[in-house]
Amino acid sequence: MGYKFRFQAKTLSSLHRVIDALFGAVGLLIFYSLFSPGSFVSRTPQISMLVITSVLLTLVCFHLAGVYKEWSGSDIISECNRVIVSVLCVFGGMLILGYIFKVSSIYSRRVILLWVFVWPALLCLERVFIRKFFFNWIFETSMNKKAVIAGTGSLGATLFDWIRENPWAGVNVEGFFDREDNACNGSTPCIGQIERLPQYVKENDIQLVYLALPMREESLLNQLLHELEDSTAQIYFFPDMTLFKKLMGGNVAQVAGQAAIALRSSPFEGMNGFIKRLEDISISLLILFFISPVMFIIALGIKMTSKGPVLFKQWRYGLGGHPFQIYKFRTMKVLEDGYDFVPATTDDPRITRFGLFLRQNSLDELPQFLNVLLGSMSIVGPRPHAVKMNEEYRKHISGYMLRHISKPGITGLAQINGYKGEIHSNEDMEKRISYDIEYLQRWSVFLDLEIIFKTIFKLAWRQ
């Protein structure tokens, strides 16, 4: 059974690699025939070489990015992130080869850019379809892995419920093992005492063993691992991490030659950081192109209605808790640009009439797209607070400084959920921080796009 499953899984994985590559090649041909039919006819050899190159780069980049690694226990967002990274790598490889061989001018930029945006979107939709419909049927027939769970606590029950609700994971839980035969409650299938687990695994060809035991059970864990060495089962340990409520990470890292679990790490390390920066640059350039006339009109309005500079720079805490100067349109009669200042309130007499209009519609924050281009901010992230506010709230709000693992953003998860503007109580700030931490835990390109669209269409930009 185990060999049969591995053979089928390997066959499907190989088939999926070929389908993805051919999907990209066919997409290129279709886009060329629709949007550049003249080139499609007159430059057939060059386009054929482009298609072949895209197929080869797809096979290499998708493999290196881990698109086809074991995904039964991962979520669709993680897989789509890997797909996007792979497509960007394919695009980068094509640019490099085009520059080396001096042929980039031959090809249609419009076609290739459209292909780069549409292809990964279609691949992600295809994966959603496969998980939700196609694999449900396959795994219900002959490809289920047999699994057992050690531990009947809340962690084991949560794991069991997730597997039952996600049949595409390809796992069939035979039952639970625990200290006592009658430890299970309700309809949860109990097999027996935990000491019988290794023998049961060997006798019933169990492929997966999930250890959902408290970390204090070290001696029992060592005993189970020792006895399970005489089996071919894959073993996963699910430690009870409720102690770490603000966990950000969880990946296994190598430190000094030893395996370590990253309990707190930035979601923007390595390739994710590159994707985030690419996202910031492309979106901010696009937005600045469209809003530059508006910014010019606002600058004229500020000059005509009050004395002083158009732009206002104020200190904020940014990535790593280091201060930076944020750009805003000036909305007050005063210019408090130091670390210490009095926050604006409703009906604040320092605010000009034109400035009030700008603040109510968040138009004073448009120059922050320049901060994004310079690299001190992101489009999406925890909103930056004043230095004085940071020093005040970090003393009595747990996890406050975790928000500085990321660059501050123009908009964020807290803003689209209504936590923006003036702070009225500690509860307001605590809720804002909880959304900031949730954003860092859940980050993906799709979440950023969702926040951007909701900021626009839910009028979350209005104060």
Mean per-residue pLDDT, 27-38:
89
Q: Which range is least confidently modeled, 228-232, 279-283, 286-290, 375-379? A: 228-232
pLDDT of residue 142: 47
How far is the C-alpha of 81 from the C-alpha of 86, rounded, in Å? 9
- pLDDT, mean of residues 263-292: 85
Contacts of 197 (CB under 8 A, 6+ apart): 148, 150, 177, 209, 224, 228
Condensed to tens digits (0 to 9), the pLDDT of residues 133-166 reads 665 555 554 456 889 999 888 888 888 888 887 7
Look at residue 313 in the predicted model and tell me its pLDDT: 87
Give me the percent of the chain exceeding a pLDDT of 90.
Answer: 20
At residue 418, the 3 state secondary structure works out as coil
Contact 155, 182 (CB under 8 A): no
How much is the mean pLDDT over the chain? 81
| Residues 236 and 169 sit within 8 Å (Cβ to Cβ) | no
Task: State the CB neighbour count (10 A cutoff) for residue 143.
Answer: 17
pLDDT at 135: 57
Range in 95-99, 149-153, 422-426, 431-435 with the lowest mean pLDDT: 422-426
Q: Which residue has the tokens 């309809």?
A: 187
More confident residue, 182 or 273: 273
CA proximity to 174, closest of 160, 184, 186, 162: 160
Residue in the structure block whose two tokens are 């590559």:
21
pLDDT mean over 282-304: 91
341's CB contacts (< 8 A; 6+ apart) are 314, 386, 388
Domain 145-241: give its CATH architecture: 3-Layer(aba) Sandwich (3.40)
Confidence at residue 149, expressed as pLDDT on a 0 to 100 scale: 92
- The torsion of the CA quartet 444, 445, 448, 452, rounded to 10 degrees, works out to -160
Q: Higher model confidence: residue 211 or residue 73?
A: 211
Domain ranges of the chain: 2-139, 145-241, 271-457
Q: What DSSP element (H or E) covers 16?
A: helix 2-35
Confidence at residue 2, expressed as pLDDT on a 0 to 100 scale: 41
